[in-house]
Amino acid sequence: MKAQRVVWGETLAELAASDDRVVVLDGDLATSTRSDLVATAVPDAFVQVGIAEQNMVGMAVGLSTLGYRPWLSTFGVFLTNRALDQIRMLVSQTRAPVRVAAAYSGLLNGSAGKTHQDIEDFAIMRAMPYMTVLAPADEFEAEAVFRWAAEFDGPLYVRVARDPVAPVFDESYAFEPGTPRLLTEGGDVTIVSTGVQTSRTAEAVRLLAERGVSATHVHLPTLKPLDVDAFLGLVGDASLVVTVEEHSRIGGLGGLVSEILAERGGPRLVRVGLEDRWSESAPNDFLLDKYGLSPERVADAVAQQLAAV
Partner 1 sequence: MTATTSRPSPEELAAVARRARWRIIETVTSSKAGHIGGPLSATDLLVALYFAELDIDPADPKKTDRDRFILSKGHSAIGLYSVLALRGYFPEEELATFDHGDSRLQGHPDMLLTPGVDASTGSLGQGLAFGAGIALGAKKLGRDFHTWVMVGDGEIEEGMVWETVLSAPRFGLDNLTLIIDLNGLQQYGWPAGPDDRFDRSEPVGHVDLERVFTGFGWNALSIDGHDFDAILGAFDRVTDDRGVSGRPTVIIANTRKGRGISFTEGTYKWHNGVATDEQLDLARTELLGTTEDAR
Ligand X SMILES: Cc1ncc(C[n+]2csc(CCOP(=O)(O)OP(=O)(O)O)c2C)c(N)n1
In the complex, what is the shortest distance from the CB of residue 116 to partner 1, in angstroms, rounded to a whole number?
7
Identify which range of 12-20, 23-31, 134-142, 215-223 contacts ligand X by CB under 6 A.
23-31
Main-chain phi, psi angles of 297, to 5 degrees: -65, -35
Bridge partners (DSSP) listed for residue 106: 118
Beta strands in the chain (DSSP E): 22-26, 46-48, 69-75, 99-103, 132-134, 156-160, 181-184, 189-193, 215-219, 222-224, 240-248, 268-274
Classify residue 161 by its DSSP letter. -
Rule CB under 8 A: is residue 37 a binding residue for partner 1? no
Rule CB under 8 A: is residue 79 a binding residue for partner 1? no
In the complex, what is the shortest distance from the CB of residue 78 to ligand X, in angstroms, rounded to a whole number?
5
Rule CB under 8 A: is residue 281 a binding residue for partner 1? yes
In the complex, what is the shortest distance from the CB of residue 51 to ligand X, in angstroms, rounded to a whole number?
5
Strand, helix or coil for residue 157: strand
Q: Give 255-308 as a DSSP string.
A: HHHHHHHHHHT--EEEEEEE-SS------HHHHHHHTT-SHHHHHHHHHHHHHH
Binding mask 288-307 for partner 1 (x = CB under 8 A): --x-----------------
Please identify, using beta-carbon distances, which residue of 160 and 253 lies nearer to partner 1: 160
Work out which of 5, 24, 25, 27 binds ligand X, going by CB under 6 A: 27
Identify which range of 45-53, 89-97, 256-264, 269-277 contacts partner 1 by CB under 8 A.
45-53
Please identify, using beta-carbon distances, which residue of 163 and 227 lies nearer to partner 1: 163
- Provide the angle, in degrees to the nearest 10, between the axes of the packed helices 228-235 and 253-264: 80
Cα 169 to Cα 159: distance, rounded to the nearest angstrom? 17
Binding mask 53-92 for ligand X (x = CB under 6 A): -------------------------x---x----------
Rule CB under 8 A: is residue 282 a binding residue for partner 1? yes
Which candidate, 135, 132, 144, 160, places its Cα nearest to that of 253?
135
Work out which of 2, 10, 29, 209 binds ligand X, going by CB under 6 A: 29
Cα 2 to Cα 188: distance, rounded to the nearest angstrom? 33
Which candidate, 163, 43, 27, 170, places its Cα nearest to that of 101?
27
- Interface of this chain with ligand X, residues 36 to 55, rule: CB under 6 A: 51
- Interface of this chain with partner 1, residues 102 to 141, rule: CB under 8 A: 110-116
* Pairing mode, strands 156-160 and 132-134: parallel
Which candidate, 176, 163, 29, 40, places its Cα nearest to that of 101?
29
Which candidate, 252, 243, 287, places its Cα nearest to that of 157?
252
In the complex, what is the shortest distance from the CB of residue 294 to partner 1, in angstroms, rounded to a whole number?
13
In the complex, what is the shortest distance from the CB of residue 134 to partner 1, in angstroms, rounded to a whole number?
24
Rule CB under 6 A: is residue 104 a binding residue for ligand X? no
Number of residues in contact with ligand X, rule: CB under 6 A? 6
In the complex, what is the shortest distance from the CB of residue 36 to ligand X, in angstroms, rounded to a whole number?
13
Which candidate, 107, 141, 144, places its Cα nearest to that of 122?
107
Interface positions with partner 1 (CB under 8 A): 26, 28-32, 36, 39, 43, 48, 50-52, 54-55, 77-78, 81-82, 110-116, 280-283, 286-287, 290
Interface positions with ligand X (CB under 6 A): 27-29, 51, 78, 82
